[in-house]
Amino acid sequence: MAVADSKASALAHLPSAHFNANAAWLTLWAMTYNLLRATGAQASAFHARATTATIRTHLVHVPARIARSARRITLHLPHNWPWQHAWTHLFSTAHGPAD
């Protein structure tokens, strides 16, 4: 599954005629793949087994609105968004308890 997932993302750009371009794409793919897999594992059991394209669609491309008020940033997520629980769990895990 990792090979098919990789070929559908950054590794689709390989091979290039330039060695440095190949090295850059491979490095970017490895960092992105590992970060997305860790994100999926923290978000939910479904996302732990999902492909990186699904994780990007569900958790990275968030349909939200950013608002500022009293020097605070508020993120307004859509109502009845199917992945809101997974995203808020991921957010609270990454940020820890509020002071």
Task: Return the ∠ at Cα 51 (arms to 44 and 63), rounded to 5°.
Answer: 65
Model pLDDT, residue 63: 87
Go through the chain and tell me how many residues it has: 99
Q: Quick check: 14 pLDDT over 90?
A: no
Portion of the chain with pLDDT greater than 90, in percent? 45
pTM above 0.85, yes or no: no
Residue 24: what pLDDT? 87
Task: Render pLDDT for 37-69 as a digit per residue (tens, 0 to 9).
Answer: 999 999 999 999 999 889 999 999 988 999 999
- Residues 78-96: what's their mean pLDDT? 90
pLDDT of residue 1: 60
Could you tell me what percent of the chain has a pLDDT over 70?
A: 91
Helix (H) or strand (E) holding 69: strand 65-69
